[in-house]
Amino acid sequence: MKLLENYIQTYGEAINKDVLKVDAFINHQIDPKLMMELAKDIQNHFQNKTITKIVTIETSGIAPSLFLGYLLNVPVVYLKKNPSKITTDECYQTLVHSFTKNKDYTVTCSKKYLHQDDKVLFIDDFMANGEACIGAIKIIEEAQAELCGIAIIIEKAFQSGRKKVEELGYSVYSLARIQSLDNGKITFISE
């Protein structure tokens, strides 16, 4: 998506060869007009699918998801990262390993908000090694909901996320695909 690539080139910073800082419009300050345009792009891409629910992970997946939820008139459920106080009987839960942060965390979802009859679109801000996405897939599968699509705002295509998710039988739609962050220069895989 050209608009997003322009935002990334203008406001993003390749702080090293692995990490792209985008605090200016998604991870700290949020640009609502951009979020709406991202949502419209995702809506357009998945227009042939019937979606009943958007699933994301707190925190940075929520903003674009909310705009899409508004456009599609469906609820947005965000998986929580803090250990849940409700019992495991009442929620789906899985462990995610973050290579970037070198730590494990639990993602949870109350059984109240994800059901067998849901047709889910999963959204997240970044895909690196795909671990968060795979955690979400596990939870959606455990709920026996149907995963109709995965939309990622920024994919770091030089990391292993897409490959691992495709091996599970799902395809990934990314709005921007970063080819490299080497030498402080941001390059994209063209659409």
Choose one: 85-93, 108-116, 128-136, 168-176; the region binding ligand G4P (CB under 6 A). 128-136
Residue pair 78/61 in contact (Cβ under 8 Å)? The answer is yes
Residue pair 102/87 in contact (Cβ under 8 Å)? The answer is no
Distance CA 111, CA 2 (A): 38
Which of residues 5, 41, 131, 155 is near ligand G4P by CB under 6 A? 131
Residue among 52 and 187 whose Cβ is closer to ligand G4P: 187
Closest CA to 130 of 155, 102, 153: 155
Provide CB contacts within 8 A for 19, sequence distance 6+.
100, 181
Which of residues 59, 82, 144, 179 is near ligand G4P by CB under 6 A? 59
The option from Na ion, ligand G4P, none interacting with 77 (CB < 5 to 8 A, set by class) reads none
Tokens (6 digits) for 37: 């345009």
- Contact residues toward ligand G4P (CB under 6 A) are 19-22, 27, 58-61, 98-101, 125-132, 156, 161
Binding-site residues for xanthine, please?
20, 27, 156
